[in-house]
Amino acid sequence: MVLSPDFSSAPNLRAALLANREQALTQLYRQAFPPVRRHICGHGGSAEDAQDIFHDALVILYEQAVGGTLTLTSSASTYLVGISRNLWRHELRRRARLPHEALPDDPGPLAADAASETEETRFAVLDYVEQLGAKCKSMLLAFYYFQQPLTQIAADHDYRSVRSATVQKFKCLERLRESVRAAFRTETIEY
Amino acid sequence: MRPELERLRLIEQQLLNGPATLPAKDWQLRLLLDGELAADTAAQQQLYQGLRLAGRRQLRRELAGIHARLYGPPASPWARLWQQLKPW
């Protein structure tokens, strides 16, 4: 019998997500998605709605867990079900107000913190991240979003030392900055 | 590291509260002495916000992959339409 990993404390969950993200997320998915799907399908939603809402909840959980802002008073899967129920309640309210608009790509609570930011630039950066080489993209996301330690990033990307990985990370960041700058310079000249 | 990369690191330490973050007074002084530092810092902040969006997109892709492995691939749009329109 395979024992489920212990996700009842935030540090354990964080460690599991950083050590093997796919395995930890799969475990959470197995435990928490069925009750979320039952709840949403029983409250006016479709299986597709359930999947979208559950993914939003997992993104929130991931960011809180690796960012060190998560406090768990129950298991992570119970917490996930709770977030999903809340998100679905908000979504139902939103649909009642705006019945013809689709589910937004980014959940409200996550987008709220960025209300004053320059949307255009952020989305331009998103496009340029996609155009980086696979290794650069993987390194930047591993460090800045997935918050993996540099020792792990160095090992995963075949660097002999943390220092080499650090230098490469900054070279990738520089390349991204130059792409964005060049694009904005071109736009300025065109206008 | 090259000076350009050291500059990226300096700004990163300030923005992400790294271990080598300068005290607020020292940072203000640098901003006064270096006319381009404020603009470079704002630009770097935008990079991090863009990387955050890219990270979320990547995480959603991974979650879609996990969903497909556990529950099968998502139905095609035609199959979903048929599910909605079928009379039984």
A133 dihedral zone (left: phi>0; alpha: psi -120 to 50; beta): beta
CA-to-CA dists, residue A164 to A135, A139, A158, B6, angstroms: 14, 12, 10, 14
Over residues A132-142, the pLDDT tens digits come to: 999 999 999 99
pLDDT score at B19: 82
Residue A147: per-residue pLDDT: 95
Check residue A8 and give its pLDDT: 80
Interface predicted TM-score (ipTM): 0.85
Residue with token string 């992959």:
B65
User: Measuring CA to CA, which residue among A123, A114, A152 is closest to residue A15?
Assistant: A152
Q: What is the pLDDT of residues B26-67, one digit of tens each?
A: 999 999 999 999 999 999 999 999 999 999 999 999 999 999
Q: What is the pLDDT of residue A114?
A: 46
> Which of A47-56, A124-133, B15-24 tops mean pLDDT?
A47-56
Which residues of chain A have a CB within 8 Å of the CB of B12? 173
Domains and CATH numbers, chain A: 10-112 (no CATH), 119-185 (1.10.10)
Q: Which of A61, A117, A144, A181 to mutate to test the interface with B (most CBs of B within 10 A)?
A: A144
- Nearest of A26, A25, A12, A17 to residue A75 by alpha carbon: A12
State the Cα–Cα distance between residues B21 and A177, nearest whole angstrom.
21
pLDDT in tens, A93-126: 999 988 776 666 555 445 444 444 567 777 778 8
List CB contacts (< 8 A) between A137 and chain B: 54
Average pLDDT, chain B: 87
Percent of chain A whose predicted confidence (pLDDT) is above 90: 70
